[in-house]
Structure 1
């Protein structure tokens, strides 16, 4: 569990690295708002797609070996960015593509942890391992400050130090669970998508919770800078407060879902998020009020992430690696659309408010759709005993 958490934590730190430094990088490369948003969104999309393939690889060679390979690729990409530099928008996008490998760690860390625990403790186990997304807090806190002190190029080199330490810890301590894991293929992914409607529901619901979390985490430094004139360091700290709330709530959301049911938890999450983001779009409470609203929004989204993955192992226990890849991919796609979409709307409309209203409406739609399938799920999964739906 500890190895999975540390691997996930540091992977999320570097996956998110461009977000907190986006204002400084955009200033150096002369990027407009739309380009800046695309730059921070590309790692999210790359990580989403690569999760599918890392899930396949983890089923074939084991989660531990897959994690070691992925971490080595990320370190190599950061070392190249540090030694050669990032001098253009195209190079920034290329680095973002490579950092997506770190985002794909989702498909390694969660199966590595999940396969050691019975169904009634899946919400807690997956929540603790998934709390590794707190690595985004480290990036938000320190990356803008270090970029101001040493330049954003040197931050890439500094990030390699903790990654190398965790790589050694992971190599020594991580162990694959002694359970049989069937090798999957792309055909198996297609079969799950075509033959099971529940897989699409889970992908949609996670695209809102995790997509909202990672999308806002990437977009908020730029939003706070544009909307309130925050310096990069202050924007990073405000974002760190939001991300910390969401990261802390992920395991708590899993525990709550274990006790009251994942669907009940998610229903409360979606309704709360719709109200909170709507309040932020209206600018309720001024600068401090909007920051607080986003802290509460990411807190709710973090709880939703834990709740979704309390339900996933109960429905797809034998296909957890495959479904982790699919659902994680959907979450990343949701984050890409949110982060890039907010930038496009701001660039062409002059305001972030329409984008925020759109996301609030989608959260409300998710609440209504979840209510429509909850009764069906509960009646179908009654045989799961102590696990709560």
Structure 2
């Protein structure tokens, strides 16, 4: 595969639209985390409350991804995405005009999950335009819209310092509306849109062991990325005593690594094989987290977080190089299910970090747990699961198999239940 092949394939305006929708949605989704230090100063929250506040939008996104994944398969990814953007305006208005207490803010965060659910519409919209051998790069480009997290962490604290954190929710309506208009003009559903299937047919995906393996892998890569992205502002201020604006700058530096390198992860997975690349990335992320467990000085801690976020971001692209190979006919609902697992992983990580900080007075135990469970555990799980994949939807070298080599009924029988 070369880039000229990629340019001739698919539909570039739709790929751009999927990226843009994903980007503005992630910016909105991570606003509570980006504004956390300003909010904490007003409400006087404990460490556990901080962790829960930035984690609740991730939980909302996990639940609603299942809904949007189902809709993407039944009414089309384009219409689903437009419905998602229209629905996102409601929690932004509530955050701007109504959220005057911690419980109300938690509700706003939960409703912002509809922005995080964009994953389940944006990726099928892009994926259905591209053949299997180009899935890694196509999904990586669309998924690079998680760069919206960097927009939130960089601009959110700065705007809050000038106009207050509530006004930032209102200001976010401007790029959301602009994206809605561009998306409506540019995006198209692929002619390969699958025929809507009975609701009971979607349960078949969960009966295949591979779906559960992908859920586990993505709960580590995406969950780790988005969970850390939502918590880093709090971490840099709490651990190193930075100002809210400075903490946002350091958080943005780390987030950029993961978002910018997601397409690289997909492209390398196309070339080297997703399993091989993912194994190395799990071990790299685990090693960085082990270093962070020592709570090093600011420069070393930032370097380790940069490396961890880079590995997790590329891991996101590598996982979704594999998913369309295994579930080409159910990509919408599978994206929703696997994406929901990623959101759940993101919910648990900041919740755990905040709770352990409150219980022990240190973030060390939380980083150590993620290193062992996410890094080493993820590599071990991948090694076990991938034994049954070769010759079915990946070749012996670990790359995507040709379509003629992917007998889905056989694949389902071979993998069994997890």
- TM-score, reference length from structure 1: 0.96
Deviation at 1:385, TM superposition (A): 10
The reply on whether 1:268 has 2:280 as its aligned counterpart is yes
Structure 1 match to 2:76: 62
Sort the Cα spacing of 1:319 and 1:24 in 2 relative to 1 into closer, same or farther, 3 A.
same
> 1:52 maps to what in 2?
66
Question: In the TM superposition, what is the alpha-carbon distance from 1:34 to its structure 2 partner?
Answer: 0.9
Report the CA distance between 1:287 and its aligned residue.
Answer: 1.1
C-alpha deviations, 1:161-201, integer Å up to 9, x for none? 1111011001111110011413245533432212x111110
Measured after TM superposition, the shift of residue 81 of structure 1 is: 2.4
Partner of 2:86: 72
Deviations 1:38-95 (A, max 9, x none): 111000010011000001111121111111111111112212322x232111110110
Calculate the aligned-residue CA RMSD, in Å: 1.5
Say if 1:56 and 1:185, in contact at 8 Å, map to a contact too.
no
Counterpart Cα distance in 2 of 1:385 and 1:351: 44
Question: What corresponds to 2:183 in structure 1?
Answer: 170
Task: Give runs of aligned pairs for residues 146-295 of structure 1, distance below 5 A.
Answer: 146-184=159-197, 187-194=200-207, 196-284=208-296, 286-295=297-306
SS in 2 for 1:18: helix
* 1:383 Cα deviation after fit: 6.5
TM-aligned CA distance change 1:152 to 1:185, over 3 Å: farther
Shift in CA distance, 299/385, structure 1 to aligned 2, threshold 3 Å: closer
State the distance in 2 between where 1:23 and 1:302 align.
25
Partner SS for 2:179: helix
SS at match of 1:301: helix
Deviations, residues 276-325 of structure 1 (Å, cap 9, x unaligned) = 000011134x1110011001100000010000000001111111101100
Per-residue CA shift, 1:107-148, capped at 9, x if unaligned? 010000000000000000000000000000000100001001
Gaps of 5+ in 1: none
Q: Secondary structure at the match of 1:113?
A: helix
* 1:9 aligns to 2:54 (yes or no): no
* Correspondence 1:312 to 2:326: no
Q: Work out the CA distance in 2 between the residues paired with 1:85 and 1:147.
A: 16
5+ unaligned residues in a row in structure 2: which ranges?
1-14, 402-418
Q: Is the 8 A contact 2:23 2:148 kept in 1?
A: yes
2:353 aligned residue (314, 319, 342): 342
Q: How much does 1:373 deviate?
A: 2.7
Q: 1:111 aligns with which of 124, 138, 141?
A: 124
- Aligned partners of 2:397 and 2:197: how far apart in 1? 28
The worse-fitting range, judged by mean Cα deviation, of 58-67 and 164-173 is 58-67
Post-superposition offset of 1:366 = 1.1
CA contact (8 A) 2:130 2:138 kept: yes
CA distance in 1, matches of 2:193, 2:301: 49
Q: CA deviation at 1:267?
A: 0.3
- From the superposition, tell whether residues 180 and 155 of structure 1 become closer, same or farther in structure 2 (CA, over 3 Å): closer
Query: Counterpart in 2 of 1:138?
Result: 151
Deviation at 1:357, TM superposition (A): 0.3
- Structure-to-structure mapping, 1:348-363, within 5 angstroms: 348-362=359-373, 363=375
- CA distance in 2 between counterparts of 1:77 and 1:244 reads 26
Residue of structure 2 equivalent to 1:122: 135
How far, CA to CA, are the matches of 1:228 and 1:34 in structure 2? 18
Distance 1:348 1:183 in 2: 49
The DSSP-based 3-state class of the residue aligned with 1:117 is: coil
